[in-house]
Amino acid sequence: MGQGPGALCRAAAALRGGRRPRRALGRRRARGRGAASGGAPRGGPVTEIRVGPGLLGRLPALVARHAARRRATLVTDSRLAAGLGRTIAAAFRRAGWEAPLFVLPRGEAAKTLRQAERLWAFLAQTRHERRDPVVALGGGTVGDAAGFGAATWMRGVPLVQVPTTLLAQSDSCLGGKTGVNIPVAKNAVGAFHQPALVVADPAALAGLPERDYASGLAEVVKYGLVLDGAFARALDRRWPELAARRPAAVAWAVKRALELKARVVAADERDLSGRRELLNFGHTLGHALESASGYAVRHGEAVAFGMRAAVLLSRGRGGLSRPADAALVSDLLARLPSVRVPAGVRAGDLAERLLMDKKARGGRPVFVLLKGLARPERTDVVTRAQVLAVLAQLGVRP
């Protein structure tokens, strides 16, 4: 069934486009079906990661390595159901699989307890067994919702992530965080459930609207700013290729982002040491803006907004003092889409929502800031007044 605690993608540093990952760090990749791990942080089963062209056409064969029989439940959303969803379902049927298709609503509307109940009922009606995979075909919201269903159905069944947005391919498909929203907070109800398999094919991005593609670039930039200055500089150089959606450049960026995420998650899968919280750069105010806007603001757009705010807060604390670092950070953030904060969103509301953030400690929000390029720090000493001052600089009404 789904990978247990500590069962992470430790082989991600050896990602090869479309090929089976080789051994990395002396540990074995997962074999056969995704059997449950005993939770050992080292040497347990790992997520199999495939990145490259031509993978969608091989999906039934790839999923078969993680299933006990030719039976899987496909989960997608209403945007993809009539096109890619039906195509993938037909491919499974031609390969001799039973693969019923469950359709979620688009966007954050998929991530509710009501939709989770619908999915559980569907799994019951179609007799989805414990070793049958749930295949999430869609963006981050489909991955979160389907992952939550897989984590909770029969206390955990195998999960396969087939991301179809840049944001999902470069970030949310990996790491095991699943969940749904409640009215006052994003992702407040959820579970850790590592995927048995991740399949990222550039062809899956073909129909992605430009706004969603640009939104995904924000998460890619995040990894460079927080974890890898060389990657950040390479992103700046290769930006014209990325903006033009050149497949080779996109695959390169996705691979590197997943490599960086895998290293952090392997060290702190359950967010216990604080290391994984570094991946939340831009997310503290970003999540607040998403929920305050009723999710009219895309996740990546909100993260871009949050990163701009975090950089202003960082500079206020003496961070990013090297001119070259500050210039590169400013340049990359300027390339990301600007965010129009809805008129009904007020700075005071955003400041209040920070207290509901999962990172909050003792009634104080925790921010990830930058001492320098790829030199992050976590802090809970940012005051409400400082937050309101930064929001005013970003044009949010008091």
**What are the residue boundaries of the structural domains of the chain, listed by start?**
12-205, 210-393
Where does the chain have alpha helices with state H? 59-64, 86-94, 113-125, 140-152, 166-167, 210-227, 229-237, 239-243, 247-267, 283-292, 299-316, 323-335, 347-353, 384-393
Cα–Cα distance measured from residue 277 to residue 271, given in angstroms and rounded to the nearest whole number: 7
Sorting pLDDT into bands at 50, 70 and 90, what band is 185?
A: confident
Q: 216: burial class by Cβ within 10 Å (0-12, 13-18, 19+)?
A: buried
Q: Tens digit of pLDDT for each residue in 61-77? A: 999 999 999 999 999 99
The tokens describing 193, both together, are 């459930």
For 12-205, the fitting CATH number among 3.10.129.10, 3.20.20.80, 3.40.50.1970, 3.40.50.10710 is: 3.40.50.1970
Q: What is the pLDDT of residue 41?
A: 32
Cα–Cα distance measured from residue 64 to residue 329, given in angstroms and rounded to the nearest whole number: 43
Fold of 210-393: Dehydroquinate synthase-like, alpha domain (1.20.1090)
The tokens describing 366, both together, are 């925790």
Strand partners, 104: 77
The tokens describing 398, both together, are 């008091």
Contacts of 345 (CB under 8 A, 6+ apart): 289, 292, 293, 396, 397
Report, as an integer, the average pLDDT of 147-175.
98
Q: What angle do CA 38, 43, 47 make, to 5 degrees?
A: 80
Check if the beta carbon of residue 339 is closer than 8 Å to that of residue 365: no
Gap between the terminal Cα atoms of the chain: 49
Q: What is the pLDDT of residue 46?
A: 79
Residue indicated by tokens 């609503």: 105
Per-residue pLDDT at 145 exceeds 80:
yes
- In SS3 terms, 231-291 reads as HHHHHHHCHHHHHCCCHHHHHHHHHHHHHHHHHHHHHCCCCCCCCHHHHHCCHHHHHHHHH
Average pLDDT, rounded, for the chain = 89
Q: What is the pLDDT of residue 272?
A: 87
Task: Evaluate the CA torsion angle 45, 181, 138, 332 in order and state its sign.
Answer: negative
Per-residue pLDDT at 27 exceeds 50:
no
Amino acid making up residue 259: E
- Higher-confidence position of 258 and 35: 258
Q: What is the pLDDT of residue 187?
A: 87
Report, as an integer, the average pLDDT of 108-132.
98
Q: What is the pLDDT of residue 15?
A: 52
Amino acid making up residue 351: A
Radius of gyration for the alpha carbons in the chain, expressed in angstroms and rounded: 20
Q: What is the pLDDT of residue 12?
A: 41
**Tally of helices (H runs) and strands (E runs) in the chain:** 14, 10
pTM of the model: 0.86
Q: What is the pLDDT of residue 25?
A: 26
Sorting pLDDT into bands at 50, 70 and 90, what band is 36?
A: very low
